[in-house]
Copies of this chain bind each other. A is one copy, B any other.
């Protein structure tokens, strides 16, 4: 695709020795062109991606599994995500680069997560999305297997006003071998279609997927979705009609100024100790 790649020098800080090395290559005489890197990435973005992994684990959204990706800032057909590793342990050295078919560009000995197709297929159809999170967000799971729609009751989760679809791997003709996991592009595409233009989709019996225009917003969406689910279950237990946040309110908040850097700083401090 890129016939004349340049050598990109990974900018490396002590903590952020980015491992996305790009090897210049000759176009092969015949056959398929191997995918090429989107190029070097600002270490600050990698640091945010590492922080996102750790914050989401610290805040109880990610367990030993789940993953966070960002679209490559220079090449919309590439994304960056950690190798298969518990999110609380992720460092900059674990970040790998993928094409949108979720092939790793330079895997070395690093194992990719099974469900990376979630990310690639969403990036294909959602041009506005630059960050994707897949989690087993615990308070969210019950809403994927029951009949009450996930709707916002907490203003921090007002972004859910657009609706939260539920995806069931069986509706995607899940082959037996996939066993509820998004192990291939077909299942990833099905999930992306269910997500549509929304921000969050529940995955029945599994967890959710959260998308946003940037990784900090995606983290905020994921954590507030968990909080909202926890509070909504309590509200249902209290009983009576629930006074949800309305579409008008949600839309107004989407447009309003917010002081979101404040919470990112706190989460980062708690998760990274700095």
- A177 in contact (CB, < 8 A): yes
Tell whether A146 pairs with B240 under 8 Å between CB atoms, given A154-B136, A231-B141.
yes
Chain A interface size, as a band, is: 35 or more
Tell whether A259 pairs with B114 under 8 Å between CB atoms, given A64-B267, A205-B243, A238-B146.
yes
0/1 per residue, A230-274, Cβ < 8 Å to B? Answer: 111111111111111110110111011101001101110100000
- A89 in contact (CB, < 8 A): yes
0/1 per residue, A169-180, Cβ < 8 Å to B? Answer: 010000011111
Residue of B64, B153, B246, B248 touching A142 (CB-CB under 8 A): B153
- A125 in contact (CB, < 8 A): no
- A20 in contact (CB, < 8 A): no
- A193 in contact (CB, < 8 A): no
Q: Which residue of B lies closest to A153 (CB)?
A: B145
Interface centre among A86, A145, A206 (most CB of B within 10 A): A145
Contact B179 A252 (CB under 8 A): yes
- A7 in contact (CB, < 8 A): no
Contact A238 B148 (CB under 8 A): yes
CB distance from A104 to the nearest CB of B (A): 15
Contact A158 B180 (CB under 8 A): yes
Q: Which of A80-137 contact B (CB under 8 A)?
A: 84-86, 88-89, 111, 113-114, 136
Contact B146 A262 (CB under 8 A): no
Q: Which residue of B lies closest to A220 (CB)?
A: B64
- Chain B residue numbers with a CB within 8 Å of A241 are 146-147
CB distance from A88 to the nearest CB of B (A): 7
Tell whether A206 pairs with B145 under 8 Å between CB atoms, given A65-B262, A239-B236, A255-B179.
no
Pick 8 A–B contacts, CB within 8 A, sort by A. A84-B259, A86-B265, A114-B257, A142-B235, A148-B239, A158-B180, A233-B238, A237-B237
